[in-house]
Each structure stands twice: as structure tokens, then as C-alpha cells.
Chains A and B, each alone.
Chain A
Amino acid sequence: MRKQYGALVVGAGIGGIRAALDLAVTGHKVALIDRRPTHGGILSQLDHQFPSDHCGMCKMLPLMSRDSSSQFCLRKGLFHDNIDIMLSTEVAELEGEPGKFFVSLSTKSPLIDPTKCVSCGKCAEVCPVRVPSEFNAGLTERTAVYLPVPHAIPNHYVLDLDNCQRCWKCHDACPTGAIDLKFNERVDFHILVVDRDPAVETMLKDILNELNFPLHCVQTGQAAVDMLASDDRIRLVLVGMNINDMDAERVLTRSLELNADIPVVVMAETSQISTAAAMVTQGAREYLVKPLEAKRFVPWLDKLYMRIMSDTTEDLEVGAVVLAGGFECYNPVVDPEGGEDIWSYGHPGVLTAVEFERLLSGTGPTGGRLLHPGDNSEVRKIAWIQCVGSRDVKKNADFCSGICCMFSIKEAVLAKKATNGAVETTIFYMDMRTSGKGYQRYRNKAEHEKGVRLVRSRPHSVIPVNDGMDLKVEYMTDAGELVSETYDMVVLAAGARPPGGMEKFALTMGLDLNEWGFAQMQPYASERTSRLGVFAAGSFGEPRDISESVIQASAAAQAASRIIKVYDVLAGIESEPEPEYPDVSREPPRILVAVCTSCPTLEQTVDLEALSRKMSAVHSVCKVISVGATCTGEGWAEIEKGAAEFKPNRVLIGACMPYAYIPRLKELGRSIGLNPALMDVVDIYTPTFVLESEGQAEKEVFAALSMAVARLQGADPVPVPVTVDVARSALVVGGGLAGMTASMAIADQGYGVCLVESEEELGGMAMRLHTQLDGSDPHKFMEELIGQVEKHPNIKVLKDSRVAISRGSAGRFRSAIAGPQGVFPLEHGVSILATGGHETKVYESGLCVHKSVMTHLALEEQLATGVLDAGALTGVAMIQCWRSRDEDRTYCSRVCCPEMLKNVLTLKKRNPDLPIYVFYRDIMVQGFMETYYTQARKAGAIFIHYEPDNKPKVAFEDGKPVITALDPVLNAEVEIRADILSLSSGLEPNDVEDLLEVFGVEVNEDGFYQEADFKWRPVDFLKQGIYMCGAAHSPRRMDETVASAKAAAQRALRILSTEKIARETVVASVRHSLCSLCQACVAACPYGARVVDLEEGKIIVDEILCQGCGACAAVCPNSATILKGFHDGPMMSVIDAALEQPA
């Protein structure tokens, strides 16, 4: 039977992980696959993300039901009860329809048994192969048997068969026999050869003798088919194209009819390659070109044999599919036009951005020191060149990658930090696109505080000078002056491209691609691909940065969960009930210690018997057993047996890589009836690898084990979980596009929604839009949406109303809503704030005084309604960033540049000869929006750059605007007389001061809501159960608003989808008899999980909000507040155990 999942998520990068987690926490089973041998995508290579310039990926982990997922660094690994992760796996086929997709997956075997590999690295030591390391972006080399990512958990070596030389040294070096190259199974691998050429037969017999494969040679197709039918030992068919009695195609079809799984390889002459290639599409595994040479054929066959024997396929049935294939970085070497290497990419001092990031990484080639890869010298001057492979029509990249501006600024800041400011950093850019929340601030800080130099120019080439020691960068200033500068290092901000093999993938998945090779997405639903039920997360549909990828991923998860719900995909599949464990709190601790002895290094460095004797003497240890290999099934059975025999109430396992055991401890708990909180795994292997001196390793191992024993002695057996009954409905504040979309998303899943709008009509700011750049009709979309919302049986719309008060916490809020009919109370589980924004009011430059001056929005309306006749105009001027990105509002409003382009293109369409002048600072059009900028320039609009310290001046003559500004290209003042002056007024969040108090949330310095974490939790408030979306979160276009609304809805569904929220293992509690009500803990709690109940005279802990950080326990003067598992008592014993010398 096919294994059933709610959803399949393809791609385990940040987008895939977010989507999978979002689905998993709402109770859906998810299969998460990635074709790479590791999870994490490109982020596994990047150690630093702005704005903190470190990583905070772990903040994505679930906050509720934390016990069901891993609780450690997310870059290391991920476990979740509802997620099955399959690596090195690709989709081979996708059939079916939404709600019932049939997927077959093919998994490449690592050829190293992960249950036996102890990651000792002996195989890599003997491997003679050296190929560029993918992890270090080619800056270092790796062996063919290698660790894909040094920090991953579980971390096992994999064998890269494509680069293997077949010396088998690794096989011999492996101390645990984990490397399985199937030597013994060769004699059962019968090969059938169908070829008329006797030379082929002799040659094959000759060489296959050495490889031990039994060979059967026939000359006719009929004989081959007969043999296949009669002999089921045949595992591979090699078919020549020269047989007489039937076509090779016929042999292929018949073979596959007889045995659908049999691999058939075609042997073709050079002239028959096209037919052979066609046969591959009909089901042949691959084709070979004759003549066959032993030198190439033998390794090929050997590797094919190992693939056939080791690779696996799996068939799944899923309700929905989420694609999160991410992007690939543009490779400056590969120029489709075959142009010259103008960036000197071959030079060791020229790096791509990812390579530079690896250079700064602690796990990189230099251990994090900024050294020149050519000669390991100190780097003094670095230049970044933006838009390499992006915004380049000639390279089929008429789009902006959207990520490079920020990562270049970040890298410049990191370089400064790594050298204590010594290095000179210059960024050459075309437009510095800082149109995200906080981006402009980050840029200003880099430029003005950190001393990163920004030069607005595009160098035409990079040329090595001084015998290749330095790199010359030549560029033209705006004034036409040619400047030449030399650098030690040049970093190319290589943009995003569709992931490799996208075309084939699109064919498999049945997707349409856009002209740049990314998935084609639908308007107003940027998570929807062209195939129903298949959604795109992360940057699969358009290059995106982390926070937008995360939002997009949640939106895709929302769309997928809707399908799962609508089609009732997992109906009848009961999730396993939470097991109940016996209460052992009254029993004295009896600890079973199991020591894993699978790795010979332990035996070599540690006297196991002595260790076992010493451990047995430790208080409360009831038995010490040695287990062959704890990570295998047999080893596990031994522990189970030991547990049955000695009836311990705590279990301690000494093994390697403790993180990897977390899911298995739960299984063990189920089978032996012991709470996993009373079990622990400690690493006893690392000391044996790194400590040389006699007896030292033994001391360390003993200390590690006895510390764990001390901790287990005091471990809290978890009492019956306290739960909160969830009020399964939502309160949505704001009836604009964001609020309505979020309401629909929640209501469609069957939960009630109360939508509160302060105006008299729904619609908000989006109602002012009449056209969109992509040609879609926003008005129609909005009207349909309003209609749906008002008719939806689960949505109650309250207009002209406001929220007067809201109390309670996640899962159970009580609010009061004041409207024209009076005040009415509401119980709800979650709140979503979508209070939106508005066009900024600017009373300058004659706006509101002269009729000829208007905002972009007003111009759009006049053009759409026909008030303004474009044909009668003689000149139009536009000014961008009017009071945006300066001291008044230090952020980019994001919507004005597309709005301006919309007006330019409409005007040019109606009156192609109309002169249009646009004064701008940076044109902020990320992603595929870039193409409209190209169109606007092609249409003849003139773009004039200005600097903020020399803004265009506006005067009026006869009521018509006259704009004077410095044209940097002419290097002279220009005077533009226009009929109309259109200003980008920017976007401001609506005033929400009253709501901040009502909901207990915060806004940032610009008045936008302050999210829990900018990158990793972009739509969550710090206070659980409250979410944000739309323009109140940050300036957003319609598509982005919809995505954020769906993301917020999905996050909210996490709470609404359960009847009860259970308490975690690690939470704080108060021993009221010791509490002096000093309230120090209330102030210390970063989550607002503590309140003082004055009537009862008690500190109350909200166990849902508590995240178990222990800040309260540390401040408590009386030790009244305790954190489960980290009491003072056990902590003190752990310290004693750590310092105790073994007897």
C-alpha cells in the first residue's frame, strides 16, 4: 500500500522547512524531500544573516508542542513527529489530482549504512579522490567519500559514486563495516546481453569475468524476451541496436512488460544516438555509445550495479504538493552567450558572494579569517560588483534577484568586522534596492557608521594587474569620468537562477515556467502554480530573501492545508494517542546505563570493564550493560531487554551523536513504558577521538556519564499535562485585502471568524487601485473577494466597529467589540491584526494647492476614469522617494516605484510621444517587476537620478510645475516644464495606538508592527496567538499582502486546529509556599508568561506562553520558581558529578 501523507514538500531549504513545519504543527503528516544529501539548502552554507549578522534559524521551531520536534540548532538537523525527511530523493513521477496525488520518489543510496557509520572519518582519510567541495563553494576540496555538511545531525559519511575511482580503500578502512559495496551479491546479478556483434560478447565475457557477474548472451530479440520470461534472475538487460528479428524498442517494451522494474540499457552506434535518446524517454535507463571500451565500461557497469542494488523507490499518496526548490546562484563561468570572462572569475581573488561567505565561515577554508585564497595574505581592499547575472537582458535575466543588494552590504559589514575595520570595502551598484523592513536603516548604518563605501556605477570589467597580484576595476562616474581602482579581492554578487534541472522537473510535475525559467505563478496568489494542488514556497516562483521566502512558505502551507482539509485527505487515519506513562515520582531512581561499544576506538582508549565497575558504583545506577551498536535495531532490542530485566525508572545511553537519538527515545519510551523525559543520551565517543593521553578519555567518559546520571536522578517525571481548551474561532482586525484574505483562509477551514472593520465599507487601501502592471484587474478581484467574505457562512463582518478590549492568551481570548449596535463580547482563540496603511499626506511642492500636482495614486485614478486625457499632455514629471527613505521616514515604501512604472507605461501606451521625466534615487523593483522598468525605459521615459542632499526643486509658472534638478549625466542643472507633476507620496501604517494597548503588542520606530523575529517569524507577534499581516506589517504590494495574510492565517490555524493545547516538558512553575511575591520573575520573563494574581496572592505562570528559558528561575531569590528538569538540586549534583574524580 502507498504510504499516505497530507502533503509532499519538495526541497528542504528554508522555504521547505517552514512549509513542512507549518503543516506538521497543524496535524498533517508531511514528507519532506531534498535531492541533496543534507537539509537546510543554501542556508546550511551561510552562517550570518542580517540584521543581526548571525543566525537565528532555530526561532522557526514550533513554540507549542515543543516536545514533538527537535529542540536544537535548526541548521544541524530537524525532527518532527509529523515530518518524514527523505534526503538524496527526487520526484520521479507525479500523477493524480488535488487531494489524491500519486507520487513516486527515487532515493539515491549513500552506499554507507547510516545505522553503522560512526562518522570516524577513516574512509575519507584513505580516499584518493579530490573534487571541489560543494559545501565550501569550491574553495576547498573533498574526497569522494565525504561529510556533506560538517555540522549536520545525524551526520554520516556518504559515497559520491560519480566521482569514485573504485579503489575500495574506504571499504577496507571502515571499522564498522558500514560501507556496503555489494561484493557478495555480484554472483546473483545476472546480466542479459542482446547483440548480434560477436565482438561485443567476447569483450563483455572478458571483462565481466573479472567483475564476477554471470553473463547471458543472446543474438535475437525473441531469445532475449524468452529468457526474461523464463529466468527471473536477470537483473539488467543490455540491448544492442543491431538485432535483426525485432527493433531494440520492441525488446525494451517487451522487457518492461515482463518486468516493469528491470533496467534496460541501450548500446548504440554513434549514428543512432537520437533513437537511443528517444528510447530513454520510453523507459530505458540510459544509453551507451559503441565501441565499448573496458576502461570506461567497467567502472560504468560497476557503478550502475551498485546504484541498482542500493537505490530505492517509494510510492506515496499525498493530498497536496509544495515545491520549495529554491534557486541556484548564477555561475559567472557559464555564459550562455559564450562571451568572455569579463569578471576574471578564474582569478583566485575573484569570488562569488557565496564563496566569500564561505571564506568568512568558521567551517570554511580559513577557519573564518579573511585571507586571500590565492596566497593566504591579509586582504586590504575588497570591491563588490552588483547585478552579476541579474538585470541583464542579454543573459535572459531581465529580473532583479532581490537578494544581492542586502547580502553584499552584509558581507561588507562582516568583512569590516572580521578585520576590525581595517579592510576597505566598496560596493559598485546600479540601484541599491533596500525596500524591505529595516533594510534602509541597515544600509545607512553600513554606510555612515561602518564606513562601507557605496559607488553608483557599473564597472565594465575586472582585469588582473601587477602580475596578477591585484585586480583593476574601471568604472565611469555619472559625469563621464573614467576611474580606475585596484583591489585585492572582488566579490561578484551573482544573482539567482532557476534551480538546475528545472525544465525536466517542470515536465515531471506538469508545471508551466515563465520566460526566465522560474515557475509561473498566478496573480493575487503568489503561492499557486499552474497546476491545481501544487504550490510554490520560498523562492521557487520568484527570487526572494529569507523573510519573504518564509512568508511565502507559510502561504503555500496554508494553500496546501486547505486542499488537505477540503478533500479530507487523511480521513480515517487516526494519529497515535499520546502514551500514558506510569508515575515514578515516588520511587527511588533506578538508572540503567547502556554503553554502546560499536566503535573500536572506545575499546582501544577506555577500559570498558573498569568503566562499567565505576559506573555501577555510582549512586542509583542499577545496572551497566554493554550494547553492540545502540543505533541499530539489534542494539535497541538489547536495551529493551535490559529494561525489561532490570526494571529501571531512568535510562541513560552512552553513545555518539546524542541529538540523533531524540526520536528514538520516544519509541523506546513507548515500548518499555517509561517517559522519554527520564531518558538521556550522552556523547562518550568524542573524547576517545580527540584525547591522546593515557586514561584521560576514560576520565572524560566517566564524567560525562556521571553528570548525566546526576541530571537523571533529579529529572522530573512529567505529571498529567495541563491543557487549555481552545476557543476555535478568530478575531481579524481590519477589513482590507489582508484582513479579508486571512478571514477567508481561516473560514474555509471551518472555523468561525469575526472581521472587524473601522470604516463603513470593506476593501481598504487596495480599493484605490485600478490597474496592475501584470494587466490583471485589481478592482474586480477586490469586489469578488468582498462578495465572498460578506456571504461566507463562517465570517461575521462588523463594520464601523472597533475592538475595545482584549484579554487572555493564546487559545482563549476574551474581547469586546464596540459597534453601532453597541458592545458585544467575543471569545476567540487567535487574533490577526491587519490594520493596513494609507498614502502619506504631503503638503509640499504644490500638492493640494495646484491642480497639476498629484500623487501617483491620484494620477492612476485620473487615467483609469478618463478624467485626464493623456493625448492632450505635453510633458509629465514624476518625483520618487518624496519624503521616503530620509530623516522623516527611514524606510522604502516599496509600492511607489511599481506605481510610477504603471503610470509611465499607461501614459506611454496612450501617448507614445509624451515626454516623461522621472526623478529617482533608486528604482526599487525586485524580482520580475524589473521587466516593467526595462519596458518603461524602452518606451522612452527619461530617468534622472538625484541625491537626497540635492533634491529636485519645484516652482510654478502659471500654475504649471517647473522642476529644476541636477542631471548627473549632463552634469548640469536641467529645468523641466511639465503639465503634470506626480509625486510618490509613500505609505504609512495606520495609527494603531489604541490597539497596541488593547492587544499588548508593539510597533517599531516606523509605526509598523514589531514581529517576533524579522526573518524567522515574520508574521508572529512576540505574544503568542496574535499575528499580523498586510501593510501594517511592512509596505507591501497586493501579491505580497495576500501572501502575508495567508501566512498569518496558517500560523493561526496552528492553534485553531487543536481542541486543547498541551503543556510542555520544560516549563517553569512556582512553589507558592516559598514565593515572596517580589515579582522579579514577572519582569524577567521575555514572553509575558507570568502575571501576579493579587486576589490570590500568587504568581501565575501561563504554561502555553512559557518557553522554558529559565530566566525566571535564575532571578528568583528564594528558589521558588523552578524550571522542570533544571532544578537547583539536580543542577548542584550535576556540578558535583562534573568535578568529582573517579575513585
Chain B
Amino acid sequence: MNNEFEPTILAFVCNWCTYTAADLAGTSRMVQQPNLRLVRMMCTGMVDPKYIVKSLLSGADGVLVSGCHPGDCHYINGNYKARRRVKLLNEILPQFGIEKERVKLTWVGASEGNEFAATVNNFINEIRELGPMEACSMAVV
């Protein structure tokens, strides 16, 4: 495994919970990994799977989707919709040579700044283990 490899992570986070947690992690100066790009969405329920696929194809090594805890969605049930989509996507991705571990869904509540930092760190470590995304350079996709 290449020790120099620093994965680039795209995180689709919901405005109400995870974005708040990320902001808290930032303002509390919790050490944060580089190459994490946050895309704020109103709700994880609006994260179209094509955004995730597009991110992977455009060079992201991993995509994190993170929203409110089950039952806490500001828009009632958007996070359940996200869960279904990510689950399906995880089924499909390996058929295209993309490890399903590259797409991950988590719940991080607004007050859980530390949880957000831990989630991101774990995810980055997992992706570092996996190595760079190679599928997009292959002809399959």
C-alpha cells in the first residue's frame, strides 16, 4: 500500500445535523483531516445517487453521506430515503469495480462534533487502506 496516498473525500452532509456537527468540529478546532470536501445539502434525502457516482468518477476516493439520526430528520423522513439509496448503491457499485466501502452513510447529530471528527477519520483510514480509486480509469465505467 502506498504510504504517501492521501485520499480525497467528498462528504454530502445535511444542513441540520451533520453540517452543524462539522461546523462544531471546525470551530472547536478539532484536528481535521485534509482533503475532506463538504457539500452542504438541505437533507440527505436529496442526495441523488448520481451525485455520488459523479464524485467517484471525478476523482473522489470515497463519498460520505451523513445526516440526522433516524427519527430526527428535519424533513421527517429524508434520512430513511438516503439509507435506502445508499444501500442500493452499495449493491450496485461492486459490479463496476468500485469497492462498496467507498460509499458510506452515517448519522451524526448536530451536537456531535467529536463524533463527526471520528467518523471522518475512520472513513479516511478505511479508504487509505483501500488505496486510490482505480475503477474510473478502467474502461468498465
Q: List the A side residues contacting B24 at CB < 8 Å.
A: 76, 150-151, 363
Distance (whole angstroms) from the CB of B122 to the closest CB of chain A: 15
Q: Report if A1114-B54 is in contact (Cβ < 8 Å); known contacts: A151-B113, A367-B114.
A: no
Distance (whole angstroms) from the CB of A16 to the closest CB of chain B: 20
CB within 8 A of A54: which of B23, B72, B76? B72
Q: Report if A1132-B54 is in contact (Cβ < 8 Å); known contacts: A691-B32, A1108-B42.
A: yes
B87 at the interface (CB under 8 A from A): no
A1139 touching B31, Cβ below 8 Å: no
Who on chain A is nearest to B22 by CB? A686
Q: List the B side residues contacting A707 at CB < 8 Å.
A: 37, 39
Report how many residues on chain A are interfacial, defined by Cβ distance under 8 Å. 60
CB within 8 A of A75: which of B10, B26, B111? B111
A1139 touching B60, Cβ below 8 Å: yes
Find residues 692-734 in chain A having any chain B CB closer than 8 Å to their own CB: 693, 696, 699-700, 703, 707
A362 touching B37, Cβ below 8 Å: no
Q: List the B side residues contacting A155 at CB < 8 Å.
A: 27
Q: In the complex, A1132→B35 CA distance in Å?
A: 18
B8 at the interface (CB under 8 A from A): yes
B78 touching A55, Cβ below 8 Å: no
Find residues 25-80 in chain B having any chain A CB closer than 8 Å to their own CB: 26-32, 34-35, 37, 39, 41-43, 45-48, 50-51, 54-55, 58-60, 68-69, 71-72, 74-78
Distance (whole angstroms) from the CB of B72 to the closest CB of chain A: 4
A1139 touching B55, Cβ below 8 Å: yes
B29 touching A54, Cβ below 8 Å: no
B34 touching A72, Cβ below 8 Å: no
Which candidate, A170-178, A383-391, A433-441, A1123-1131, is the interface stretch facing chain B? A1123-1131
A1110 touching B46, Cβ below 8 Å: yes
B29 touching A121, Cβ below 8 Å: yes
Q: In the complex, A1022→B75 CA distance in Å?
A: 11
A151 touching B111, Cβ below 8 Å: yes
Main SS at interface, chain B:
loop
Distance (whole angstroms) from the CB of B17 to the closest CB of chain A: 7
B26 touching A76, Cβ below 8 Å: no
Distance (whole angstroms) from the CB of B137 to the closest CB of chain A: 14
Q: Report if A55-B55 is in contact (Cβ < 8 Å); known contacts: A363-B24, A1066-B42, A1114-B85.
A: no
A1136 at the interface (CB under 8 A from B): yes
CB within 8 A of A1111: which of B30, B75, B112? B75
Q: List the A side residues contacting B113 at CB < 8 Å.
A: 150-151, 362-363
Q: In the complex, A690→B22 CA distance in Å?
A: 13
Interface centre among B24, B29, B81 (most CB of A within 10 A): B24
B110 touching A73, Cβ below 8 Å: yes
Q: In the complex, A707→B115 CA distance in Å?
A: 25
CB within 8 A of B75: which of A75, A1086, A1128? A1086
Q: List the B side residues contacting A657 at CB < 8 Å.
A: 27
Distance (whole angstroms) from the CB of A440 to the closest CB of chain B: 19
A691 touching B46, Cβ below 8 Å: no
Q: In the complex, A683→B114 CA distance in Å?
A: 19
Who on chain A is nearest to B45 by CB? A1111
A361 at the interface (CB under 8 A from B): yes
A1135 touching B51, Cβ below 8 Å: yes
B43 touching A1109, Cβ below 8 Å: yes
Q: List the A side residues contacting B30 at CB < 8 Å.
A: 690
A72 touching B27, Cβ below 8 Å: no
Find residues 519-567 in chain A having any chain B CB closer than 8 Å to their own CB: none
Q: In the complex, A119→B8 CA distance in Å?
A: 28
Q: Mark B79-100, 1 if CB is under 8 A from A, else 0.
A: 0010001000000000000000
Q: List the A side residues contacting B48 at CB < 8 Å.
A: 1113-1114, 1128, 1131
Q: In the complex, A389→B127 CA distance in Å?
A: 53
Q: List the A side residues contacting B50 at CB < 8 Å.
A: 1128
Who on chain A is nearest to B11 by CB? A1138
A819 at the interface (CB under 8 A from B): no
Q: In the complex, A686→B30 CA distance in Å?
A: 10
CB within 8 A of A1123: which of B26, B37, B46, B81? B46
Q: Report if A362-B111 is in contact (Cβ < 8 Å); known contacts: A150-B24, A1135-B51, A1136-B58.
A: yes
Q: Mark A336-372, 1 if CB is under 8 A from B, else 0.
A: 0000000000000000000000000111000110000
Q: List the B side residues contacting A361 at CB < 8 Å.
A: 111
B20 touching A72, Cβ below 8 Å: yes
B110 touching A76, Cβ below 8 Å: yes
A1086 touching B27, Cβ below 8 Å: no
CB within 8 A of B26: which of A52, A72, A683? A683
In the assembled complex, 13 residue pairs joining A and B whose CB atoms fall closer than 8 Å, in A order, are: A54-B109, A55-B109, A75-B110, A151-B24, A362-B114, A363-B111, A683-B23, A686-B29, A690-B30, A1113-B46, A1114-B45, A1115-B81, A1135-B51
Beyond the given A363-B114, A1109-B42, please list 15 additional residue pairs across the A-B interface where CB-CB is below 8 A: A52-B69, A54-B71, A55-B111, A75-B110, A150-B28, A150-B113, A362-B114, A363-B111, A689-B29, A693-B34, A699-B35, A1022-B76, A1111-B75, A1113-B46, A1135-B39
The 3 lowest CB-CB distance pairs between A and B, nearest first, are A1110-B46, A1109-B75, A686-B26
